[in-house]
Amino acid sequence: MNLVPVKYNFEYERKLKVCFIGAGGHSFRNVYPTFQYAPVDLAAICDSDGDRAAAYARQFGAKAHYTDYNEMFEKEKPDAVFIVTSYHPDGRVQATDIAMDALRAGVHVWMEKPTAASAEEVRQLMLASEQSGRYVMTGLKKMFFPGVAKVKEIISSPEFGTPSSIYVRYPQSMPPFSARADLKNLTSLLDHIYHPGAIIYYLMGKIGKMSYDWEAVNGGSVTNLRFLSGAIGTLHMTAGIAGSSPLERLEVIGQGANVVLENGVHLTYYRKLSGKRPYGRTGSYLVDEQEAPLHWEPEFSLGQLYNKNIFMLGYAPEVLHFCESVLAGQPPQKGTLDASLEIAKLFEAYRTTPEGVVSVVNEA
């Protein structure tokens, strides 16, 4: 467990000089506010809409604002840039091109998901990152959810055994197969596949094969996964759930043990029992304390950091991980381009594979 006290921005001795591209809704709510807890000196903000850039600069304490990010790189010479933009009219990701320009300018990149609309574009970013010696990290926030990070810790422990199967639920619709060739019809899938995709890759590694069934009422789907590790999994895309419903459920099975994360925060670890409880002969469901299930959930009384959404949903931890990595001269370990590449391959599998057909995502 990470018990290192969180520092406030002004308490850091060393900070990165950063610029920010994008003055939109998500960044206002969830990304700029993380800078309160990160070693950053926000020098300038750029948005194509100059009024928004000026308003955000005033709101978040940047000294300058721009409408042209190349001019901003030239004048400000930042260590790193945060990119939170949107989509081109053809459905491609604006941030992919902007990240390439940032690398050419010698600037480290933190970008919101989706990293790119194709595996090929992720490979181009990998090459550009290598050639420039600058890092690219995507905000794969699910890997930074404290609940998901705890699941990872639990399933990596010897007591849990080998992770053998996984279930991930995420409400997402897919259009019919015939519509998926046109990227413009896939903005919603591209926007969201990085969430369950990040959980699946983080916990189980690379997918070997996948196949899925799809329903036409809501565009929901059930995907069977076979991982290179030999483990299996299901991604249930529950399009059509109620707007009042929690979105997510995650379960990983080990050997005599399993762990369940409900709604991103309710975590239960059903630990391996030492003995058998004979069927028809066991009078109590209450197992001994030392092997009883463990359950965690957040409290919502105190004005703490852990019950703020920017911590619970991984935003502050992901930004901190990026800043600390760049300051240490070490590549980020989470939100990597390797992870984005695997998610882009899964996205492409849905684009190019009709329902019921097995797609090889990675050769065994």
Which stretches of the chain bind ligand NAD, using CB under 6 A?
Answer: 21-27, 46-49, 52, 69, 84-86, 94, 98, 112-113, 139, 141, 191
The residue (of 231 and 250) whose beta carbon lies closer to ligand NAD is 250
- Shortest Å, Cβ 215 to ligand NAD: 25
* Closest residue by beta carbon to ligand NAD: 24
The residue (of 113 and 209) whose beta carbon lies closer to ligand NAD is 113
- Shortest Å, Cβ 195 to ligand NAD: 8
Burial class (CB in 10 A: 0-12, 13-18, 19+), 25: exposed
**Mode of pairing for the β-strands spanning 221-227 and 207-214:** antiparallel
The residue (of 193 and 253) whose beta carbon lies closer to ligand NAD is 193
- Shortest Å, Cβ 86 to ligand NAD: 4
Question: Could you give the CA distance from residue 132 to residue 107 in angstroms, rounded to a whole number?
Answer: 9
- Shortest Å, Cβ 279 to ligand NAD: 45
- Shortest Å, Cβ 358 to ligand NAD: 30
The residue (of 113 and 180) whose beta carbon lies closer to ligand NAD is 113
Give residues with Cβ within 8 angstroms of 103, minimum separation 6: 109, 125, 128, 129, 131, 132, 134, 136
- Shortest Å, Cβ 169 to ligand NAD: 17
The residue (of 141 and 321) whose beta carbon lies closer to ligand NAD is 141
Structure tokens belonging to residue 220 = 């929901």
Give residues with Cβ within 8 angstroms of 338, minimum separation 6: none
- Shortest Å, Cβ 199 to ligand NAD: 13
The residue (of 85 and 353) whose beta carbon lies closer to ligand NAD is 85
Q: What's the 3-state SS for 248-312?
A: CEEEEECCCCEEEEECCCEEEEECCCCCCCCCCCCCCCCCCHHHCCEEECCCCCCCCCCCCHHHH
Q: Which of 124, 185, 79 is nearest to 337 (CA)?
A: 124
Question: Could you give the CA distance from residue 346 to residue 170 in angstroms, rounded to a whole number?
Answer: 15
- Residue 15, phi then psi, degrees to nearest 5: -130, 155
The residue (of 32 and 214) whose beta carbon lies closer to ligand NAD is 32
Question: Could you give the CA distance from residue 306 to residue 132 in angstroms, rounded to a whole number?
Answer: 36
